[in-house]
Amino acid sequence: MFVPSILLKQLYTHGSLTKTEDGLSFMLKNRLKDASLKELKWIALDGEKISDDKITLQVGSDTLLSVDELNRAGETPFDLKQIITVHLKLDEQASPEKRKIGISFVASPFGKLKFEVEDNITTPKSRGGHIPRDNFDDYGEKIIKTRQQYFEQQSGGKVDHVGKYSIDPQALKGNIEHFIGVAQVPMGIAGPINIDGEYAKGEFTVPLATTEGTLVASYNRGMKLLNMSGGVKATVVDDAMQRAPVFVFPDARGARDFAKWVQENIETIRGEAEATSSVAKLTYVDTYLSNKFAFLRFNYRTGDAAGQNMVGRATFAACGWILDHYEGIENFYLESNFATDKKASQINIMRTRGKRVTAEATIKREHLLSVMRVDPKQIDYHGRVAGVGSFLSGVNNTGLHSPNGITAMFIATGQDVANVSESSAAMMYSELTEEGDLYLSITIPSLIVATYGGGTGIGTQRECLELLGCYGRDKVYKFAEIVASVVLAGEISLASAISSSDWVSSHEEYGRNR
């Protein structure tokens, strides 16, 4: 199995080359896929191979193997994210000068592998990072308690509520480092809301985690109004997740020629990217040229996962193949800031990042008057006035507060909350029908959600997704339609409150204005 050199070097944990009492040590971490070590060929320092009897590998908390023991075992598990610490009996001094570390080994399913990296020797004290951790069981009760005590000593306070949790810390690997406990956020429910989606059909009661007074009540009021007029129609219209590397050339012609070569070899590049995942599918690659730079925007489908890590890994593998097969590249960065990960941007509004989803409804005039005490004409006129304010401010959202509902749902269901920065973009549209009713529609162009992977499988988060019928595979479009429908309920509720001047009085009664 071909492994690009740039990807292979990621097995080495940079900054881990450390002087110990017995010599040196460094760490290897499997960042590829589940594997097994079959044979260690050699390890070298500055080109000089180290004698096997000076090498020991720590493959578990209580398991040390010599090179001979490792090779005679035939297969030693080296699972994804597993750490192996290599101990070398060498008398070397700490120094800021870079040293070359080479390693050659045989692993299944990859075959014979070899790479060389550079790192400098440090001492444990100079490396900093004194927070207690255990390389082999960092989610065990003992190390968690040790970190809690460390935090108390450092802060002079007491870990009480934070240390009370119902989840299994061992299930948090890949979700949190230096775990000490949980942050509890109050949760309420709103609804039910009636949704006519292609994936979400029927009534849904929605969990909202927030500390903002009036938020749950406001969304609940909006849902009631929408239900009276037949509910919400929701539609997912696009799906894409990106990673955007940049390649640097001596001049603009080099960048131009490279862009042409990429398109000519797109099928091979697609194969290298998709080989890293059973889920990620590379749909297309956009090329943007500027100065002597070639920006490539890799676009993927990522199934029910949000997919940022997935597409990062896939793109890294594809770029590794490119770097090994195209001459003339002066420099390369896996992310150029063109995917605008965790940042709002115009390109993602236009081209989609995550799910592009629209929720729409026609609200009867009599229902607006009876529930919200506002005429459709008032809301429509206010929307046009607010459109001018949106233009003047340069905001990425012509609606009122869609991130409120999105954030509350994200916290409740284990989404990556920082994705609200991109998911905050929205285009609100309204019009009066010939009957005098109000048609209302909102499009969220970059809603980044998941129903599988990430934080969705943790305790309360998984529970909330299950209560919505949205946990697991083939559920992400359903969840996206529910989120968009909830957003629409919040928009009509707040729009009505502002148009009828109820906004401040509601906060006085239910919120923080005391």
Q: Which of the residues are catalytic?
A: 212, 416, 507
DSSP of 165-188, one letter per residue? Answer: --S-GGGGTTT-SS--------EE
Report helix, strand or coil for 504. Answer: helix
How far, in Å, CA of 71 to CA of 105, rounded?
A: 10
Determine how many CB atoms are found less than 10 A away from the CB of residue 375: 17
**Spatial CA neighbour of 399 closest among 478, 477, 498:** 498
How far, in Å, CA of 218 to CA of 216, rounded?
A: 5
> In sequence order, which ranges of 229-339 are alpha helices (DSSP H)?
252-264, 266-274, 308-325
**Spatial CA neighbour of 64 closest among 36, 45, 89, 86:** 86
**Spatial CA neighbour of 486 closest among 361, 376, 314:** 361
Token representation of residue 124:
């444990």
DSSP of 361-419, one letter per residue? Answer: EEE-HHHIIIII---HHHHHHHHHHHHHHHHHHT-SBSSS-HHHHHHHHHHHHT--GGG
Indicate if the alpha-carbon torsion angle 482, 483, 485, 489 is positive or negative: positive
Report helix, strand or coil for 130. Answer: coil
How far, in Å, CA of 351 to CA of 472, rounded?
A: 27
**Spatial CA neighbour of 396 closest among 426, 423, 420:** 426
Triad 301, 315, 29: Cα angle to 5°: 115
Token representation of residue 127:
């490396």
Q: How much is the CA Rg of the chain, to the nearest whole Å?
A: 27
C-alpha separations of 275 from 296, 339, 500 in Å: 19, 22, 56
How far, in Å, CA of 37 to CA of 387, rounded?
A: 61
**Spatial CA neighbour of 60 closest among 49, 50, 51, 69:** 69
| Count of CA atoms in the C-beta half-sphere (13 A) of 333 | 11
Yes or no: say if 226 and 489 are a contact pair by the CB < 8 Å rule.
Answer: yes
How far, in Å, CA of 287 to CA of 256, rounded?
A: 10
